[in-house]
Structures are given as C-alpha cells and as structure tokens.
Structure 1
Amino acid sequence: MAQPHAVVIGGGIGGLTAARALLDGGWAVTVCERSPSLEPVGAGLAVAPNALRALDVLGLGDAVRERSSLHGGGIRRWDGRWLMRLDAERIRAWFGDPVVLLRRATLVELLAAGLPGGTVRTGSAVTGVDPGSRTAPAHVLTASGELAADLVVAADGINSLTRRTLFPEAADPVYAGFATWRFIVPADLPIVPAESWGHGSVVGLMPLADGSVYVYASVPGAPGAQAPDERAELLRRFAHWHAPIPQLLTAAESGDVLRNDVWYLDAPPRAYHRGRVALLGDAAHAMPPNLGQGGCQAMEDAVTLAHTVSGTDRADVPAALARYTAARRPRASAVVRRSARAGALLCCGCRGVAAARNLALAAMGPLGPLLLRRSIAGIFDWSPPGEGRR
C-alpha cells in the first residue's frame, strides 16, 4: 500500500509540529509556507507543561527544558511593589515541568531540524483548498501547481483562507481591545522574571537562557494605531515605570520592536474539520496572549491530530478528523474564553477596576499561588492522547 500523503499549510509552530508528528506516524508530508523562509515572526514564546508533554511525543521536550531560565518572580505593580511572588519551582512541583521561555526562532529550528530535505516548500502560497471526501482526495492549489492529499492540515493563522473556504458562515476575528509590543534585548544585569501591572497596561520581563530578555507590553486602545517609532512610543508610555523597564526599553533597537493589535476568534467554527481537511492552531482557535497558550494549544492540536489519524485507512480519514474535532474543540474553546477574560481584566483602562484587581491580588497573600494553581490546573495538566491524564 502506498504511503499516505499529508499537506500542511503553514510553517509556523503548529504546522511544523504537525509535520513532525505525522512523519513519525508514517505519513509522507509536504509543508507549504508562503514566506520565503521559515524565519518566524515574533520574539519569545512560552512553552508550558502541557506543551512540553506534546513535544515529548516528538522527542524534543528535553531539548526545550534545557533552555529553562526561570527561577522565581511573580506579579508587580507598575512602581515595582510586589503583588504576588511565585517560585518557578512550584510550577515544576505542581505539574512536573516548568514554563520555559525561549526564542520563537529556537523552537522553529528544533522542529525543522527533524524534517527531511524537501519537506518544506517556502514561497509556496496556497490559493485554494478542496476538502475532498471519503472516496476522493483533497486538493491544495498553489501558484506552482496542485497537490493531492489524503489529509490537509490548515495551520494558516488567524486569517486562515482555509477556514473561510470550509466555513464561510464562521464569525470573523474580533478585536481584543488592546495592542502588544514584543522584543528581545541583551541584558547586562540580573533580571527578575515578572509581569508588572498598571492601569490597563502590562509589561513582562522574562530572562532567556542565552542572557537576553524577552520583553512584552500591552496597552488598551483602538485598533490601527501606529507610531513612527514604536520604541519611542514605549518609552513615552513606560519610562516612569520601575527599573529595569526604562533601561531595557532604551537598550532596544527600534527596528526590533514588533507591534500588533490583538484579535481572536470569539466564536469557533462549528467544527475543526471538513472532509479531509483539519484546522489547527490559530486557524481554529486564535486567542489573546494573556495565558501564553496560543502556541501551546497548537502543539496539543498537532500531536492529537497525528494520534487520531495514526493507522487510519485512507477512506477513514474524514471519520478520524471528526474524532479530532471532538477531542480538541471543547478544550481549545475553553482556553480561548479564559484567555479573553484574562486580557479584558488586565488591559481594562478603568483605574477603579485596576485598583480593585491589585488590592484583591495583594490581599490573597500566601493563598495567591494556591489560587493560581487551581486556575491553571485545567490547562497545564493536559497529557497527550494515549498517555492518560496527570
């Protein structure tokens, strides 16, 4: 019997994880990436315990764990006063793993390194998808020709052409009410990992294993605003915040600061599949970044999808994808809702709401970390299919 063939649309974290997982399951894989290279857009990435267990399926979990650099931290006010301290080792004790912060490019390199030559076709934009049926293959149309596939994995992002093609009635992304900035900068001084909260504004400082710092910031506002110099805009907003935030902003190169309005899929499509096509990652469940789960959920999708279609006859792929939808849609939709609620609370510009939020967190005292554990347990304790729950 000929080897089954999968086409993956998109060479980001989710698409490459799916490609690796399917290859390990005996599939031939072609990845179509519209950009001229696999160099990712973005700066840092949080890999939580649930995603580390997904990477374990590919044999990459330990390579990511080696890059863990978080040893303490918590949440602070904009003036530096602590609202809650959290020892990173508690996360490891609770869930068996830490949260690892690393460069997005590092994870892309790790995933791509295990792909055979010729698997990834860069500069290959997809212009159309036919989902096929139980008896007919799917087809993916690109500028260089048409590809037939037993399975198509659509990891083509929040503005997914595939999602709009398969589910034209699905709701469009909605604006989350805030924008984010991200960059990585070398650090000449020790950095305590922390997220600092102001009146609707947030700044995160996360040291990386190579001695640099991943910096992110969020502010509420209308979509579409752009500054001539985004680094100068960050200094205008945050120069009066506690050290070392102003120093790190000053050290950044203007061209390295990425600014994005945050959009997400408030209402999921009615299924994550149609015919032989499966939606994955942001194409299925784009979410605000406030829980750090966007890439993590894409990695969960990828190993679940590969497990679901493993050993499946060609004719049974559509039925296997129905099981994929049943496994992933309820969970990912719940994480989207929780991420949206967290974003609305953190980036609310009302001073009264921000003050009440900070007072409540500070008043928790030693109970704060325990309540945090309860709030994230349903996310971090996921295990890949076939391995049981933790």
Structure 2
Amino acid sequence: MPTPHAVVVGAGIGGLTAAVALHQRGWRVTVLERATSLEPVGAGIGLCPNAQRALDVIGLGDRVRELAVWRGSLGIRTPNGRWLVRADTSDAEERFGGTLVPVHRATLVDILRSGLREDSLRTGTEARLGDRGSADRRSVVATPDGDIEADLVIGADGINSGVRQTLFPAHPKPVYSGFTAWRLVVPAPERPFHPHETWGRGGVWGTQPLRGGRVYAYATAVLPEGGRAPDSEMAELRRRFSDWHDPIPDVLAAADPERILRNDVRHMTVPLPAYHRGRVALLGDAAHAMTPSLGQGGNQAIEDAIVLAHHAEPGRDFTQALASYSHDRLPRTTAIVCRAARTARMNHLTSAPALALRDMLIAGVSRLGPNLMLRSFESIADWQPPQHTYAAGTQDNQPARQ
C-alpha cells in the first residue's frame, strides 16, 4: 500500500502538531505556510495539563514541562493588588496531573518543528483548497508551484481560514468580541512577583514568567473594533494600566514600544456543523476560534491535532476517519468556546456596581471553598488523549499518564 500523503495548510501550533503526529503514524506530510519564516512575533502561550498530555502522545510533553519556571501561588487580583482567588501549583498538579507552563511561542514552534523532516515544510507558499475530495477521490491543494493531490488536507490556517471559507461558504465568520488585546514579552522585573491575572473595569492584565529571565504579559480592554491608539500603543497601555499593582508598572517600564502587539479579539459565535468535509479537516482557530479568557485557544488546537491523527490511521477510510474526528471534537470545543465567551463577559464588566458584586462573589466563594480557580478548569485541564504514543510505533488505546 502506498504511503498516504497529508497536506497541512498553516504552520501554526495546531498545524505543526498535526504534522508531527501524522508523520509518526506513517504519513508523508507536506506543510504549507504563506509566511516566509516560522519565527512567531513575540508573544507567549500558556500550555495547560491537557495540552501537555496531548504532546506526550508525540513524545514532546516533557520538553514543555522542562520549561516551567514557577512553583508557588498564582491567581486573580484586583487593580489595587487584592487577591480575589489564589491557587498553588502543587494543587494543580494533584488535581490535573500538571500545572500551567507559559512558554514563548517561538520556543514551542522550535520544539514542534524538531519532530518534522526538514523537507516537509514549505514557507512562503500561498495555498488554496481546489477540491475537497471524497471517499474515492483525492483532494487537491492549489499553490503557485502547481497543484498538490493529497489523501488528507488539514486546514490549520487560523481565524481567517480560507479552507473553512471554501468548505462552509455560507457559514457566519468569526465576530468581534467587544475587546482588543495587547501582548508583549519583556525582561523580568528585578522585584519578585507572583503570576497573576488582574481583573479591572472593562479590562484584564496578566503577567506570567518565562524561562530565560523574561516575562509574558497580556492586556485587554473594551474598545470599538478596528481602533488604534491616537499616539502609540505604549502610551495607551500606560494610560490604562500604569496605576495598577506591581509588577505591572515595572513590566510597562521594560517594554519595547516597537514590539507591542495589538489585535482585536474575534470568536465563533455560531459553531460549524462539522470540522470536516470530504477529505479535508479543520482544526484550531480555523474550526473554533475562541476568546483567550480561558487560555485554551492553542491548547485546543493541540488536542485537535492529536485526536485527528488518532483517527487518521493509514489504510482507513479517510472520510469515515474525519467524521469520527468531528464527532469527538465538535461538542468539547463548542462548549469551551461558550465558556470562554461567558468568562470574557464577566472579566470585562464596565459597570461599577456589577464589578463590585462580581469581586465580592468571587472572593466570598473562594473563602468558602479553596481552589475555586482550579475547579473552574475541571473538564478542561483533566482531558485525556486517546492514546499513549505514536512515536513508539504502537497504539494501545490506553489513556496517557496522569
């Protein structure tokens, strides 16, 4: 039987994970990325225990865990520094088998890329789905260098996915969530701090340590869509957050104004009917774009990739395999998209009475029952992948280790 060929459109985190997983299952893989480089612009991502276990399947979970730099408490604060809820990393490890590991996206991309053959990746390549294929017809991806036939095509081309648009042309596109986001990576402040997310009036700030003496920070604010600061994004961040608690002023002072990213946050409010058609599958933001309020966008893309590879066994009817993939992923990711939207509404309140009530309720419930923050991630962070490992060449259908 000839080696099956998969084409992955998009070399983001989900696309690279899928490529590595399929390669380890015996597929020939071609990854097409329109950018000329895989060097992500400076930003971080928090990898939760569910994504770490997914990466265990392809032998990369421990490489992520080695990047953890924090053991201790973390939680949610108010702008004046008061803790609303706190948890300890040891509690997360006991409950979920691991804790949050913030990493620079460039570091994660390097880890994933190490699992691929050098000749499987083509950057600077625009790709368009020409034929989605069927049970008895291969799919086709059009590129400037010619058409590529494939047994399987994976649309991992992000929130503005052209593959999704071709598969579901009448489906509503992602819509503006009501808030914009800034991201920055800076040298770590000299004064020690606890990782935190701070909920203020119509906005959020988060500070997470990275390996190598750096900090990943992110901020959001309720603003009209498409806006930009009248002077600079650095000035806008200082206006909104410079009087918030430490270490936020120190992080702002260390920021390079030229390296601050700003993006409007959009999400899917109407779920797709399926994550596949013909021989084409969607994953990550192309399938289920969500607000970052639960920190699950990249984590769910990694889950998608592992589940897709699990079903895409060489020799299987690929259209049936993709139907199984949709069946497994659509309910879970739809529920998380909805939870993320609810959380976003809660942490972007603008009414002073509503803010006071929210903070009082969170603090009160936290005092009554410890680890409120961890309980809110049950059914998300405790997810188990379908198999142990592909890299060993066997699939035993047992859950990964806790």
TM over 0.5: yes
Q: 3-state DSSP class of the match of 1:85?
A: strand
Cα offset for 1:128? 3.2
Question: 1: CA distance between counterparts of 2:130 and 2:228?
Answer: 34
User: Could you say if the C-alpha distance between residues 115 and 388 of structure 1 is closer, same or farther in structure 2, counting changes exceeding 3 Å?
Assistant: closer
Q: Which residue of 2 aligns with 1:278?
A: 281
Cα offset for 1:239? 1.4
Question: 1: CA distance between counterparts of 2:215 and 2:288?
Answer: 28
User: Could you say if the C-alpha distance between residues 327 and 365 of structure 1 is closer, same or farther in structure 2, counting changes exceeding 3 Å?
Assistant: closer
Pairing partner for 1:208 from 204, 207, 210:
210
Q: 3-state DSSP class of the match of 1:373?
A: helix
Q: 3-state DSSP class of the match of 1:73?
A: strand
Deviations 1:7-66 (A, max 9, x none): 000000000000000000000000000000111245010100100000000111001001
Please say which of residues 238-247 and 24-33 is displaced more in the overlay.
Answer: 238-247
Pairing partner for 1:217 from 219, 223, 229:
219
Q: 3-state DSSP class of the match of 2:153?
A: strand
Cα offset for 1:388? 3.7
Is contact 1:175-1:223 (8 Å) kept? yes
Cα offset for 1:252? 0.2
Deviations 1:348-370 (A, max 9, x none): 22222211111111112444544
The one-letter code of the counterpart of 1:195 is E
User: Could you say if the C-alpha distance between residues 147 and 369 of structure 1 is closer, same or farther in structure 2, counting changes exceeding 3 Å?
Assistant: farther
Pairing partner for 1:238 from 237, 241, 263:
241
Deviations 1:292-333 (A, max 9, x none): 1000000000010001011333xx101110000000000010
User: Could you say if the C-alpha distance between residues 236 and 7 of structure 1 is closer, same or farther in structure 2, counting changes exceeding 3 Å?
Assistant: same
The one-letter code of the counterpart of 1:223 is E
Is contact 1:176-1:344 (8 Å) kept? no
Deviations 1:169-214 (A, max 9, x none): 2111111110111101001232210111111211111111222111
Q: Which runs of 5+ in 1 are unaligned?
A: none
Question: 1: CA distance between counterparts of 2:4 and 2:205?
Answer: 47
Question: 2: CA distance between counterparts of 1:368 and 1:247?
Answer: 33
Question: 1: CA distance between counterparts of 2:376 and 2:103?
Answer: 24
Question: 2: CA distance between counterparts of 1:356 and 1:373?
Answer: 21
Cα offset for 1:381? 1.1
Cα offset for 1:280? 0.6
Percent identity (aligned): 51
Question: 2: CA distance between counterparts of 1:19 and 1:365?
Answer: 42
Q: Which residue of 2 aligns with 1:340?
A: 341
Question: 2: CA distance between counterparts of 1:368 and 1:126?
Answer: 51
Cα offset for 1:127? 2.8
Cα offset for 1:70? 2.6
Q: 3-state DSSP class of the match of 2:67?
A: coil
Q: 3-state DSSP class of the match of 1:376?
A: coil
1:98-113 pair list within 5 angstroms: 98-113=99-114
The one-letter code of the counterpart of 2:207 is L
Q: Which runs of 5+ in 2 are unaligned?
A: 387-396
Q: Which residue of 2 aligns with 1:45?
A: 45
Cα offset for 1:109? 0.3
Runs of 4+ in 1 over 4 A off after TM superposition: none
Deviations 1:115-159 (A, max 9, x none): 111111000011333101111100000122110000001001111
1:219-368 pair list within 5 angstroms: 219-227=221-229, 228-313=231-316, 316-368=317-369
Question: 1: CA distance between counterparts of 2:177 and 2:351?
Answer: 16
Q: Which residue of 2 aligns with 1:118?
A: 119
Q: CA RMSD in A?
A: 1.3
Cα offset for 1:236? 1.0
Q: Which residue of 2 aligns with 1:94?
A: 95
Structure 2-normalised TM-score? 0.94
Structure 1-normalised TM-score? 0.97
